[in-house]
Amino acid sequence: MKTNHEIDYFILGEEMQMVEIELDPQETAIAEAGSFMYMDDGIQMETIFGDGSRQGSSLMDKLFSAGKRLLTGAGLFMTAYTNHGLGKARVAFASPYPGKIIPLDLMDYNGKIICQKDSFLCAAKGVSIGIEFQKKLGTGLFGGEGFIMQKLEGDGKCFCHAGGHIIKRSLYAGQILRVDTGCIVAYTQNIDFDIQFVGGIKNTLFGGEGFFFATLRGPGDVWLQTLPISRLASRILTYGSGVGGRKEEGSILGGIGNILDGDGL
């Protein structure tokens, strides 16, 4: 028997997606602050400590649940959206940047998914958003996400967001996939996550891909993103500062090109 609320959903959009969740009376969805888009009449918002999975328990349990979120870089509070009307009602949440929303039914993955710290968007009430410590020192230091990642536990639906296009790979037992550390979105609990030195002087100094790969060993499923938010932010900062713009042109031609484009006016 399911312990989490059962919700229906619709994912809309292409580059900037949103998820619309349909709630039956007294059903609840939880979401990160700042992701709300709109809701039907009859749905009420409530700010809660932590993820709502321990709201009926003691104050210490609530504080512990909220404290875990601080360790993953999230805030102390989340928002619960409950349908107090007599019929079905919908609430929608939007992507924070260009990419795709990944629907995950935790029942299909033995009740647990491990994901990067900023990928969680929303879920059915009852899903627990906790912390997952990296057990290997090297993985924590050089794995791109540090020692702490998020874990989503329960038997309900949850939604993660990632940048660009999303690729799902299913690895058989012993199969190894080498990935840029920033491109990992989520993986199932049986995946062994480690890091590997790129190797080679030329690769290390001039490859432009960092010093380490993430190595993912099956069996299990892995979700990858083509545009990590760190890479997107780096490109925006580079072009915003004028560094790297019009690399193929000299300074004089670059200035003329900017004027012709309207950038120098």
Per-residue pLDDT reduced to its tens digit, 203-239: 444 444 456 788 999 999 999 999 887 776 766 777 6
The per-residue pLDDT for 257 is 47
**Helix H or strand E segment including 80:** strand 77-83
The angle formed by the CA atoms of residues 144, 150 and 154, to the nearest 5 degrees, is 150
Q: Which domain holds residue 110?
A: 8-242
| 89-94: strand order across its sheet | 8-12, 18-23, 89-94, 36-39
- Whether 174 shows a pLDDT value over 70: the answer reads yes
- Whether 258 shows a pLDDT value over 60: the answer reads no
CA dihedral 140, 141, 144, 145 (to 10 degrees): 40
Q: Give per-residue pLDDT as tens, 19-46.
A: 999 999 999 999 988 899 999 999 999 9
Which 3 state secondary structure label does DSSP give 255?
helix
The per-residue pLDDT for 7 is 92
The per-residue pLDDT for 60 is 60
The per-residue pLDDT for 221 is 97
Q: Among candidates 115, 143, 109, 108, which has minimal Cα distance to 129?
A: 115
Give me the chain's average pLDDT, please: 79
Question: Is residue 260 domain-resident?
Answer: no
Higher pLDDT, 240 or 254: 240
Question: Is residue 258 domain-resident?
Answer: no
CA dihedral 30, 31, 36, 38 (to 10 degrees): -20
Which 3 state secondary structure label does DSSP give 263?
coil
End-to-end CA distance of the chain: 65
The per-residue pLDDT for 55 is 47
- Whether 63 shows a pLDDT value over 80: the answer reads no
**Average confidence (pLDDT) over 83-105:** 94
Question: Is residue 66 domain-resident?
Answer: yes
Contact criterion met (CB below 8 Å) for 186 and 160: yes
**Residue 104 belongs to domain with CATH number:** 3.60.160.10
**Cis bond leading into 219, ω under 30°?**
yes
Question: Is residue 46 domain-resident?
Answer: yes
Contact criterion met (CB below 8 Å) for 231 and 144: no
Number of domains in the chain: 1
Question: Is residue 197 domain-resident?
Answer: yes
Contact criterion met (CB below 8 Å) for 117 and 85: no
Question: Is residue 33 domain-resident?
Answer: yes
Question: Is residue 265 domain-resident?
Answer: no
CA distance 225 to 264: 35
Q: Give per-residue pLDDT as tens, 138-150.
A: 444 444 444 578 8
Q: Percentage of the chain surpassing pLDDT 70?
A: 67
How many separate helices (H) and strands (E) can be counted in the chain? 5, 19
Question: Is residue 191 domain-resident?
Answer: yes
State the DSSP code for 70.
H
CA distance 180 to 234: 16
